[in-house]
Amino acid sequence: MFLGMDVGTGGTRAVLVDEKGQLVASASSEHEPFRTPHPGWAEQDPEDWWRAAREAIREVLAAVPGARVDAVGLTGQMHGAVMLDKDGKVLRPSLIWCDQRTQPQCDWLHDQFGGGQIGREKLIELTANPALPNFTLTKLLWVKEHEPEIFARIAHILCPKDYVRYRLAGTYAMDVQEASGTLLLDVAHRRWSKEVAKVAGIPESWLPELYESPEICAKISEETAGLTGLKAGTPVAAGAGDQGAGAVGMGILEPGSVSATIGTSGVVFAATAAPTRDPLGRLHTFCHAVPGRWHVMGVTQAAGLSLRWLRETLAPDQSYDQLTAGAAKIPAGSDGVLWAPYLLGERTPHLDPTATAAFVGITATTTRAHFTRAVLEGVAYSLKDTFTLFSELGIPVKGVRLGGGGARGPLWREIQANIYGYPCERLTAEEGGAFGAALMAGVGAGGWRDLEAACAAGITVAETIQPEPVTFRRYAEGYVGYRRVYAALKGIKG
């Protein structure tokens, strides 16, 4: 068996996968909700991740008595800044991926490389990405400015799933896919950027050792064995951030393969043979979890979150199935109602942490079902922005595999196929990042020769949804209107 763990925002999930690539058991433990001490802030306690990881591991092992775990792989929410002292103790709560407080630090960093567009382009040349509030480095710079007494005590920097590995194995390590989201990695050469670290005032001694995702980088410690039920000495693979591991779990390995995954956020992910930079920084360019490959991705900050917000705010008495059943009765285009899903600002393509959400086109005949369908369509329109950039940059798209909550309901699947304009595949079992982490562990332990072989064993397609020409044309017209909404909202902000 191979154990995969996903240290997410809402909880930690553990899965067991056998040598045939089949899911055998899963378990999860919820995290405490992230804290927002001020608007736009988001913090979590790393010790709570470790508590949830122990619980999920013990539960999944109990589900398969006598299971022999041959390797462990990890994934999790990206970009979080975990700061440890020289003894490995957590210095403060982690600033996680959706924290938006660090725009001043982004501006400062661009200024250090020449300011304005020149500074952005120089940073993209060095790290393949501009400075954004989501990235780990800008969070460290905020601590440097506002909590210098904490910054002075830092000895190690990790991301969330790497902190859990530290507690599992006592090793300070990170994979190159995860490291791509810190803004401290030379993505093209898959190594830490000495120049960026120097300019930012980050000692290289703070940075963990780098590995490719399937590489074995640690072993379960004696202490952890007693706490979790894992055997001491069990190999631990480097793993990947949630997007890289999720892509492996969906078989998005070769150039031309693309996924569109809707969780709290939404991500369109394309594998590439070489680092493809967007000169304007609207797409992220990261190392892939597949050694020797890269990927580009666009991110919608509030994708599944938009639907959750709608339900909690306007329909707390309705289930998601009831909401989407009503939406299915509304024609494509929602009778002109549009949703701009900027509840948490926006990354792709606007790079605007201050963007705000809105419904547009409301009339006296608008119903809750219209709002629901408009949310489903607005999230897909937002993800289509990434496909538009792929076309602009010459990134091939052979088809799209759907993942997350957006793949589970037939209505959202159909909306996505018709808005993206590509055949969309639904997998027989889309098990997410934890499954991908288990496959990486299996490759590291020699269970499969490479990730291609692992995915061939464990992934099958259940359904292909073809775009319907008339509906595609209707959505193409709707997309033109959607593209005007952001500029209009920006023009009226107080």
CATH number at residue 309: 3.30.420.40
Distance of alpha carbon 354 from alpha carbon 150, whole angstroms: 28
Q: Categorize the per-residue pLDDT at 432 as very low, low, confident or very high, splitting at 50, 70 and 90.
A: confident
399 beta partners: 257
Mean pLDDT of the chain: 96
The pLDDT assigned to 433 comes to 92
Q: Categorize the per-residue pLDDT at 116 as very low, low, confident or very high, splitting at 50, 70 and 90.
A: confident
Q: Do 76 and 44 share a domain, yes or no?
A: yes
Q: Do 202 and 303 share a domain, yes or no?
A: no
Q: Flag whether pLDDT at 429 surpasses 90.
A: no
122-145: average pLDDT = 96
Q: Do 155 and 255 share a domain, yes or no?
A: no
Domain end call among 188, 221, 244: 244
Percent of the chain with pLDDT strictly greater than 70: 100
Domain end call among 223, 244, 265: 244
Quick check: is 378 in a domain?
yes
Q: Do 198 and 321 share a domain, yes or no?
A: no
Q: Categorize the per-residue pLDDT at 233 as very low, low, confident or very high, splitting at 50, 70 and 90.
A: very high
Q: Do 204 and 317 share a domain, yes or no?
A: no
150-176: average pLDDT = 98
Q: Do 137 and 171 share a domain, yes or no?
A: yes
Q: Categorize the per-residue pLDDT at 128 as very low, low, confident or very high, splitting at 50, 70 and 90.
A: very high
Q: Do 131 and 226 share a domain, yes or no?
A: yes
Q: Categorize the per-residue pLDDT at 264 as very low, low, confident or very high, splitting at 50, 70 and 90.
A: confident
209 beta partners: 173
Quick check: is 435 in a domain?
no
Q: Flag whether pLDDT at 263 surpasses 90.
A: no
Identified catalytic residue from 242, 278, 385, 450 = 242
Q: Do 155 and 233 share a domain, yes or no?
A: yes
Q: Categorize the per-residue pLDDT at 366 as very low, low, confident or very high, splitting at 50, 70 and 90.
A: very high
The pLDDT assigned to 405 comes to 86
Q: Flag whether pLDDT at 189 surpasses 60.
A: yes
pLDDT in tens, 83-104: 999 999 999 999 999 898 999 9
Question: Per mean pLDDT, which range of 196-200, 260-264, 320-324 is the poorest?
Answer: 260-264
DSSP assignments along 207-259, one per residue = SPEEE-TTSEEEE--HHHHHHHSPPTT-EEE----HHHHHHHHTT--STTEEE
Q: Do 343 and 478 share a domain, yes or no?
A: yes
Q: Do 263 and 309 share a domain, yes or no?
A: yes
The pLDDT assigned to 493 comes to 66
Quick check: is 169 in a domain?
yes
Domain end call among 224, 244, 264: 244
Q: Flag whether pLDDT at 234 surpasses 90.
A: yes
Quick check: is 203 in a domain?
yes
Distance of alpha carbon 224 from alpha carbon 216, whole angstroms: 17
Q: Flag whether pLDDT at 353 surpasses 90.
A: no
Instruction: Give 111's contacts (C-beta < 8 A, 6+ positions apart).
Output: 119
Q: Do 183 and 290 share a domain, yes or no?
A: no
Question: Per mean pLDDT, which range of 282-286, 394-398, 406-410 is the poorest?
Answer: 406-410
Quick check: is 329 in a domain?
yes
Q: Flag whether pLDDT at 494 surpasses 70.
A: no
Distance of alpha carbon 191 from alpha carbon 185, whole angstroms: 6
321-350: average pLDDT = 96
Q: Categorize the per-residue pLDDT at 356 as very low, low, confident or very high, splitting at 50, 70 and 90.
A: very high
Q: Do 178 and 263 share a domain, yes or no?
A: no
- Residue 5: closest CA among 164, 113, 151, 125: 164
Provide the number of structural domains found in the chain.
2
The pLDDT assigned to 450 comes to 96
Question: Per mean pLDDT, which range of 215-219, 402-406, 472-476 is the poorest?
Answer: 402-406
The question of whether 242 is a catalytic residue gets the answer yes
Distance of alpha carbon 26 from alpha carbon 15, whole angstroms: 4
Q: Categorize the per-residue pLDDT at 6 as very low, low, confident or very high, splitting at 50, 70 and 90.
A: very high
> Domain span at residue 106?
2-244
Quick check: is 440 in a domain?
no
Instruction: Give 245's contacts (C-beta < 8 A, 6+ positions apart).
Output: 4, 6, 73, 75, 213, 239, 289, 433, 434, 436, 437, 440
CA 379 to chain centre: 16
Quick check: is 443 in a domain?
no
SS3 283: coil
